[in-house]
Amino acid sequence: MNSCSVMDNLATQATAIRAREIAAVANAVLAGLSDKKKSLPAWLFYDAAGSRLFEAITRLPEYYLTALEHSIFSQYAQEMISAAAGLDNNQLSVLELGAGSASKTLVLLRALISRQGHAIYLPIDVSEAALQSAKKNVHAALPAVDVQPICSEITQEKSLELPQTGRRLALYIGSSIGNFDPEDAVELLQWLNSQLQPGDALLLGTDMVKDAAPLLAAYNDLAGVTAAFNKNILARLNRELGADFALDAFEHRAVWNVAKCRMEMHLESQRQQTVRVEALDRDFEFRRGESIHTENSYKFSSEDVANMLLKSGFVLEQSWYDPDDWFGVHLARVVDSVTMPDADANEEAA
């Protein structure tokens, strides 16, 4: 094959992948906006612009989550890595769901490299832009890490098979598990468990229950970055699906739902309006005050975390918190089904 036809083939493959991605966006939008209570799935936030805006959010003074999780890693990374390696002192490879730019992960990878010299790191993310910056960040800081990015959506593509790379430490940090309703969180962690082997470990980062004031501040920052992040979902639909959302006709709303123990983000229509989505050949009607529910962010008690892990086939071994118990990082182990405690019995006893 000559170099021109190789390039043609690559271009055809790239077009096919892009067409599949756009079709996934279109399907998600059709389902979400056709519902009586309109919603859009949170993974739609993360195109290149959304990933940049999320990085800006992590640097906001109000967004305590990233700073606290980073401080927990900085203090306990060695302890976490040796606990994950276990008594047999196994060599670990690391895989990470929703890796983003991997800036906090660097702290853990540094501790891992100082222990075992080199490591494989598999960041998995729906955002190609986030994966590129993860790869660049890790290469620059830790050349001994072999970065093997996987661009994939993790909630729908359960056909995704995670590569076998010896004894593994899975990371799901940044409070991303809080974006799922409790049953969906268990379903996702069950899938992760099914991809791991007994003895493999999971480090899970969760935002803990606290007063409403810091939560409301974190999702309603003064600089308006979270509002821009929320509205980027509409801008993305304009770019990718030929929609005609007027961004100033929707308002960012972040509210604390005390009954469900979650922060919610909405985009509230400021007037009666019709929005055209060209790629779907559909118009969607919005009443004044009607909202599109774009994100949930559940907050956990330590019992919630232990139960969720148990239902998913993991046994919680150890948790680390910041001094105010605002954020938690939990180490859980995959055990074989014979040693697995009964999740229902545990919940009844509690």
**Cβ proximity to ligand SAM, 66 vs 269, nearer residue:** 66
Minimum Å distance from CB 126 to ligand SAM?
4
Spatial separation of the C-alpha atoms in residues 127 and 241, rounded to whole Å: 18
Spatial separation of the C-alpha atoms in residues 100 and 69, rounded to whole Å: 14
Give yes or no for residue 225 binding ligand SAM (CB under 6 A): no
Query: Binding mask 35-64 vs ligand SAM (x if CB under 6 A, - otherwise)?
Result: -------xx--x----x--x---x------
Minimum Å distance from CB 66 to ligand SAM?
6
**Cβ proximity to ligand SAM, 158 vs 287, nearer residue:** 158
For ligand SAM, the binding residue among 130, 228, 267, 334 (CB under 6 A) is: 130
Give yes or no for residue 98 binding ligand SAM (CB under 6 A): yes
For ligand SAM, the binding residue among 100, 149, 313, 328 (CB under 6 A) is: 100
Query: By CB under 6 A, how many residues form the interface with ligand SAM?
Result: 21
Contact range with ligand SAM by CB under 6 A, out of 3-11, 126-134, 190-198, 252-260: 126-134
**Cβ proximity to ligand SAM, 67 vs 279, nearer residue:** 67
Minimum Å distance from CB 56 to ligand SAM?
12
Give yes or no for residue 326 binding ligand SAM (CB under 6 A): no
Spatial separation of the C-alpha atoms in residues 164 and 194, rounded to whole Å: 12
Give yes or no for residue 125 binding ligand SAM (CB under 6 A): yes
For ligand SAM, the binding residue among 80, 92, 138, 173 (CB under 6 A) is: 173
Q: Per residue, what are the HEC states of the chain?
A: CCHHHHHHHHHHHHHHHHHHHHHHHHHHHHHHHHCCCCECCHHHHCCHHHHHHHHHHHCCCCCHHHHHHHHHHHHHHHHHHHHHHCCCCCCCEEEEECCCCCCCHHHHHHHHHHHHCCEEEEEEECCHHHHHHHHHHHHHHCCCEEECCEECCCCCCCCCCCCCCCCEEEEECCCHHHHCCHHHHHHHHHHHHHHCCCCCEEEEEEEECCCHHHHHHHHCCCCCHHHHHHHHHHHHHHHHHCECCCHHHEEEEEEEECCCCEEEEEEEECCCEEEEEHHHCEEEEECCCCEEEEEEEECECHHHHHHHHHHCCEEEEEEEECCCCCEEEEEEEECCCCCCCCHHHHHHHC
Minimum Å distance from CB 255 to ligand SAM?
19
Minimum Å distance from CB 263 to ligand SAM?
12
Minimum Å distance from CB 100 to ligand SAM?
3
Spatial separation of the C-alpha atoms in residues 284 and 241, rounded to whole Å: 14
Burial of 350 (0-12, 13-18, 19+ CB in 10 A): exposed
**Cβ proximity to ligand SAM, 51 vs 137, nearer residue:** 51
Give yes or no for residue 127 binding ligand SAM (CB under 6 A): yes
Minimum Å distance from CB 224 to ligand SAM?
19
For ligand SAM, the binding residue among 40, 83, 95, 99 (CB under 6 A) is: 99
Q: Which residues in 150-169 contact ligand SAM (CB under 6 A)?
A: 153-155
Which residues of this chain interact with ligand SAM, rule CB under 6 A?
A: 42-43, 46, 51, 54, 58, 66, 98-100, 104, 125-127, 130, 153-155, 173-174, 176
